[in-house]
């Protein structure tokens, strides 16, 4: 720790005394290093460690040292049709859930834009889902989706379980319907995260200067024209941030799916993060291979984020 010996002269008191004072530079080091050290120990080091593991054949429960196999894991993964399928499932899930969230969130934002009585309470209620624990939310929706005693079918008017949809088993009236379970997950995700899009859109809407609309009204512009040429362009940057955050989250989706379906039925809702968990821990313990898959997922997420951020910057210019 660097301390400097400072000679302070206070004219107002005409007293002189000596103090030990931390210099600004010492303060910066003192304030920032604890955080950085922790992050490096718990994030950077593990990442390098798992990079090394991804080139080895290793299982965490075997009593053997990691065996160097080079790019074997990566080529295995990229040649595995199953994994491509999980990536496709994840992509589909991301596309539909984020798309629907944008639509629902935007609509909600337009609805609660005006202040009215009880709008604070309504907003709180709308925002609540995203603060809840995803895995618990998943469990609850499992109950709601239950074909016999759940509210989902009841509210849709299917009182006879043999005629209604069984969302989580991907069946409708006893016949299998592919991807129904994935849609069930999408619905819950939309319920949970549309409020997030709504929040961002709202803050964008509030920033639009009123005179733009006044000018449009003088020019007799139609409401549609106003929406497309004033509202949307003004909100777009924030909307894209929302889309970026949600897309990254969709690729990380894990706890909601674990609570709701556990990847089933079969592997219809086996998103890539769920599969990674399965390979790394659940009975398989393929630590090396899972590390390689983790890196591939990481690269995908970084690539997507970069494309988005470039696009955002181009919009700003």
For the segment 172-211, give every residue that binds another protein (CB under 8 A).
Answer: 196, 199-200, 203
Q: Going by C-beta distance under 8 Å and a sequence separation of 6 or more, which residues neighbour residue 107? A: none
Contact predicate 52/69, CB 8 Å: no
- Our CB check for another protein shows the closer of 96 and 295 to be 295
Interaction of residue 234 with another protein, rule CB under 8 A:
no
Beta carbons of 197 and 101 less than 8 angstroms apart: yes
Site for another protein in 13-52 (CB under 8 A): 19, 21-22, 24, 27-28, 30-32, 34-36, 38-39, 41-43, 45-47, 49-50
Give the nearest distance from C-beta 224 to another protein in angstroms: 28
**Segment contacting another protein (CB under 8 A): 83-91, 126-134, 170-178, 217-225?**
126-134
Of residues 15 and 222, the one with the C-beta less far from another protein: 15
Does residue number 252 form part of the binding site for another protein (CB under 8 A)? yes
CB of 15 to another protein, least distance (A): 10
| Residue 27 beta carbon to another protein: minimum distance, rounded to whole angstroms | 6
Beta-bridge mates of residue 175:
172
Output phi, psi for 59, to 5 deg. Answer: -125, 135
Interface residue with another protein among 68, 84, 95, 151 (CB under 8 A) is: 151
User: For residue 223, how many other CB atoms are within 10 A of its CB?
Assistant: 9
Total residues contacting another protein by CB under 8 A comes to 76
Residue 131 interacting with another protein (CB under 8 A)? yes
CA angle 136/137/139 to nearest 5° reads 65
SS3 287: helix
Residue numbers 280-309 binding another protein by CB under 8 A: 280-281, 287, 290-291, 294-295, 297-298, 301, 305
Secondary element (H or E) of residue 7: strand 3-10
Q: Nearer Cβ to another protein, position 124 or 313? A: 124
Q: What share of the chain is helix, strand, coil (3-state, %, to 5)?
A: 70, 10, 25
Toward another protein, which CB reaches closer, 208 or 248?
248
Among 161, 173, 226, 265, binds another protein (CB under 8 A): 161
Contacts of 47 (CB under 8 A, 6+ apart): none
Residue selected from 251, 261, 263, 268 as contacting another protein according to rule CB under 8 A: 251
Is residue 305 within 8 A of residue 294, CB to CB? The reply is: no
Q: How far is the CB of 39 from another protein (least distance, A)?
A: 6
Round to whole Å and give the CA distance between 225 and 92: 32
Look up residue 231 and give its two tokens. Answer: 């509202």
Please state the closest distance from residue 244 (CB atom) to another protein, in A.
10
Beta strands, E only, 232-296: none
Q: Which of 239, 141, 237 is nearest to 189 (CA)?
A: 141
Q: Considering beta carbons, is residue 96 or 196 the nearer one to another protein?
A: 196
Q: Is 64 in the site for another protein (CB under 8 A)?
A: no
């Amino acid at each position: 720790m660097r301390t400097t010996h400072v000679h302070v002269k206070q004219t107002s008191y005409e007293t002189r005394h000596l103090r030990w004072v931390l210099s600004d530079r010492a303060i910066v080091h003192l304030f920032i290093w604890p955080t950085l050290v922790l992050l490096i120990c718990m994030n950077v080091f593990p990442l390098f460690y798992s990079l090394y593991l991804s080139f080895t054949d290793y299982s965490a429960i075997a009593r053997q040292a990691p065996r160097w196999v080079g790019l074997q894991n990566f080529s295995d993964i990229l040649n595995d049709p199953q994994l491509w399928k999980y990536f496709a499932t994840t992509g589909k899930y991301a596309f539909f859930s984020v798309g629907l969230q944008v639509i629902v969130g935007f609509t909600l934002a337009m609805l609660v834009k005006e202040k009215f009585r009880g709008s604070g309470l309504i907003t709180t209620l709308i925002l609540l889902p995203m603060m809840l624990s995803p895995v618990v939310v998943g469990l609850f929706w499992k109950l709601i989706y239950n074909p016999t005693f759940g509210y989902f079918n009841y509210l849709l008017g299917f009182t006879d379980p043999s005629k209604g949809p069984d969302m989580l088993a991907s069946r409708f009236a006893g016949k299998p319907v592919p991807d129904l379970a994935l849609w069930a997950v999408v619905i819950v995700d939309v319920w949970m995260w549309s409020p997030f899009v709504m929040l961002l859109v709202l803050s964008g809407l509030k920033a639009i200067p009123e005179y733009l609309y006044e000018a449009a009204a003088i020019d007799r512009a139609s409401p549609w024209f106003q929406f497309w040429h004033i509202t949307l362009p003004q909100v777009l940057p924030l909307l894209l941030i929302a889309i970026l955050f949600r897309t990254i989250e969709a690729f990380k989706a894990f706890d909601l799916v674990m609570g709701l379906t556990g990847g089933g039925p079969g592997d219809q809702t086996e998103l890539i993060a769920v599969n990674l968990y399965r390979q790394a821990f659940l009975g398989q313990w393929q630590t090396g291979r899972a590390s390689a898959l983790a890196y591939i997922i990481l690269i995908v997420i970084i690539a997507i984020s970069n494309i988005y951020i470039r696009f955002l910057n181009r919009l700003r210019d």
